[in-house]
Structure formats: structure tokens, C-alpha cells
Amino acid sequence: MPKDPIPAKRHSFTALLTLCCLITFGCYFAVSMRLPVVPLYARGFGVSTSQIGMINAAFFLMAGLLSLPSGILSDRLGRKRMAVCGTVVLFIGMLLLCFSRSFFSLAGIYLLLGVGMAAFSPTMMSWVSKISPLTHIGRAYGWYTTALFCGMGMGPAVGGALGEWLGFKPVFLIAATFVAVTIWAVLWFLPARKTVSDHTIGNPRQPLNWRPILTNRRLIGCWLAAFGANIIAGSFFSFLPLLAHDRGLDVGQIGIVYLVQSLTNALSRIPFGTISDRIGRRNYQALAGVVLASLSIAIFAPAVTFVHFLLAASSLGVSLAIAFTSLGALIAETTESRLLGLAMGGYNSFIYFGQMAGSIGLGPLIEAMGFGAGFLLAGAFNLFLVCFFAWSMLERSRDNQKISP
């Protein structure tokens, strides 16, 4: 038993955060291997561009609908249980991709994958909030989301290279194997007990009151900012393979473009998370990030070479890193501890709904107007939601000025 409880507490925080990061990296790496492969695999048996957008939208729809209730369940039933359930469902979905040969079968499998991600993602996010001291929450989200986006970046790069080398179906089998390793890691290494942090732990059986959520302007503003930025992300993830392939890039190069976006996104989160802790102006940092995301997606419109795509991807990655390191910390700061799972579940719901809107909404527009116009419209709509986010932060600042002595 150490004499000084503070170092022990910090050691516990570091160890648990490392576990969360490694498990999240493994899960997102495996599931993201499909990203550059499925659109081309689906096109091979006659699925149109609009239908590919709808397939991706099926994943985002289910993940968005279930993230909020999954966040509530993680507060009440336990985070380890929800994480195990989520990874098992993801494993089944990745295996079933090997047997899909139609639009409807792919859409059904993506619905299943959405269920799995809804159980896994908000659970791990709320876990990070629970174990993190308030003085370190920005950098904790920086490290956590770095692991997440490293997985999302390396997964498509490896999936694209394997797809070029082995063909499409072996990619799905290898990805399912990696998900199985993640299930084992959650079962054996993620502790089931509650952990300490600086947060006040509420009674999980206390009746749920929605009023603190629905009247929290800062929280609603963060949710809408996440929605708008992820319309851009949904456009990128759903239609980049088709745009890049039409402009002469092969599957391996498309995977590298995904890798660059995710790695710049990931590696930028650690310094920006630390900056948000030290400066404390998270609202301004988030605002700058979501504005830059709109400008970054526009760069894809005139892109014609591999280098152009790499530059646009790196710009998008940095802008999303600037935004989301602060948005996650803002939500944790403005929400009661007992409602944190609900708040993070809603945050993930808006993330997935935004990606769904980008996937399903832009498909018909791209078919009618082209990829450039579609990406520009995604950026413009995000700027509209940015205005509400800025207003919600401004109203909060005015409230603080009124109560200041």
C-alpha cells in the first residue's frame, strides 16, 4: 500500500487509459479495414454510387440510433459487459461480409456493424471520462482519440494493400480475426470494477432526469457541431474511394489517403489536447476546428493527383483533431457525472447521424452534380451548424459575466 495515494491514483489512471487506447485501436483497426474495399467490392456486382452511400448510411443510422441508449446502459449495466457485446457483434458482421453478394445483404450487414459500434464506442468514451482527473481530461481524450484514429488510419491502409494483393474477401476474414483478438483483450484485461477519478460518482439507480440534458445549451451546441463536422467525415469515408478511383488512384493509394487523414488527425490530437488543458479555451479551439473542416473538404473538389489527395487528407485530419479534442472535453466539463454515459452516447449518436447524412444525402447530389459540388455542399452545411455552436458558447460566456462579482 503506497504512502502517497496521489501517485497510485495517477498510475491507475495511466494504466487504465493505456488499456482503453490499445483496445480501441485494435477494434477500429479491424473494422476500418473494410473501408477502401467494400465500395469497390460492391461496385463489382452492380451496386450504384447512391446505393453505396445508402449502405454506409445503414451503418451510421443504426450506430446513431443506439449510441445514446447504449451510453445509458453502460452507466447501469457495466462498461465491460457492453464492450464485450459490441465486439462480438462486430466480429459476426465482419465474417458475414464474406458471403454478401447484393445491395440488401450488404445493407443488412452494415446495420449489424452499426449495432456493434454503438455498443462499443460510447462505452469506451465514457470510460475515459470516468477514469480521467479533470486536470488531465483534454490530454486523455487526445491520447484516446489518437489511438482511435491510428486504428482508423492504419486499418484502411492495410485493408487496401491486402485487397490489392489477396483480393477482397480475404480482407474480411483477416479483419474478423483481429476483432476476435479485441474480444479476448476486453475479456481478460479490461477491469469490471469501478475506478476512481476526480469526478463525483452519482447513484446509477437514480431515476433519469432529461431536463439537465435538454436545457444544457453548451451540450446541445457540441452535439450539433459534431453532427456538422461528421457530415464532412461521412462524405470523405463514403465517397473518397469512388472519387479517387475515377481520378486514377488504385486501391493501395486510396488506402494511403485514408492513412494520411487518420494519422494527421491522430497525431495532432495529443498536442491539441494538451493545449486545451493548459489554455482552457476549448470553445474557441473547437470553433476553429469545425470551420477549418469545411475549408478542408473543399480542397478535394479540384484534386486530380495522388499528392493533391494527400494534402487535402492531411488538412482534413488536422482540422478534425483541433475540433474533437475540445468537443469531448467540453461535454465532460458541462455534464453531471451520473449523466456522462448519456451525454457521450448522444455525442456518438450525433457523430454517426452526421456521417449517415453525409453518406445518404450526398449520393444523389454527387450523381447529379459531381463529386466537387457534393463536397462543397457538405462544407457549406457544416458552416451553418457552426453558427449555432458559436451562439451556444457566446450565451454561456454572457451567463458567466452576469454572475461574476
What is the tens place of the pLDDT at every residue in 203-238? 444 555 556 666 778 888 888 888 998 888 888 877
Of 102-111, 258-267, 316-325, 335-344, the range with the lowest mean pLDDT is 335-344
pLDDT-derived band at 176, boundaries 50, 70, 90: very high
What is the residue-averaged pLDDT of the chain?
79
Of 33-47, 62-76, 171-185, the range with the lowest mean pLDDT is 62-76
The CA-based diameter of the chain, rounded to the nearest angstrom, is: 69
**Whole-number Å distance between alpha carbons of 338 and 235:** 34
Percent of the chain's residues with pLDDT above 90: 13
pLDDT at 286: 85
Go through the domains of the chain in sequence order and give each one's CATH number: 5-200+209-403 (1.20.1250.20)
Scored b (16 or more CB within 10 A) or e, 32-68 reads bbbbbbbbbbbbeeebebbbbbbbbbbbbbbbbbbbb
Instruction: Encode pLDDT of 252-271 as tens digits.
Output: 788 788 888 877 887 887 78
pLDDT at 325: 79
Instruction: Encode pLDDT of 140-171 as tens digits.
Output: 777 887 888 788 778 888 888 888 888 888 89
Residue appearing with cell numbers 474533437: 324
Listed in sequence order, the DSSP H helices in 33-102 are 38-43, 49-77, 79-96
Please report the sign of the dihedral spanned by the C-alpha atoms of residue 24, residue 289, residue 273, residue 344. Answer: negative
Mean pLDDT of 81-96: 90
pLDDT at 252: 79
Is the confidence at residue 331, as pLDDT, over 90? no
If 0-12 CB within 10 Å is exposed, 13-18 middle and 19+ buried, where does residue 247 land? middle
Its pTM stands at: 0.69
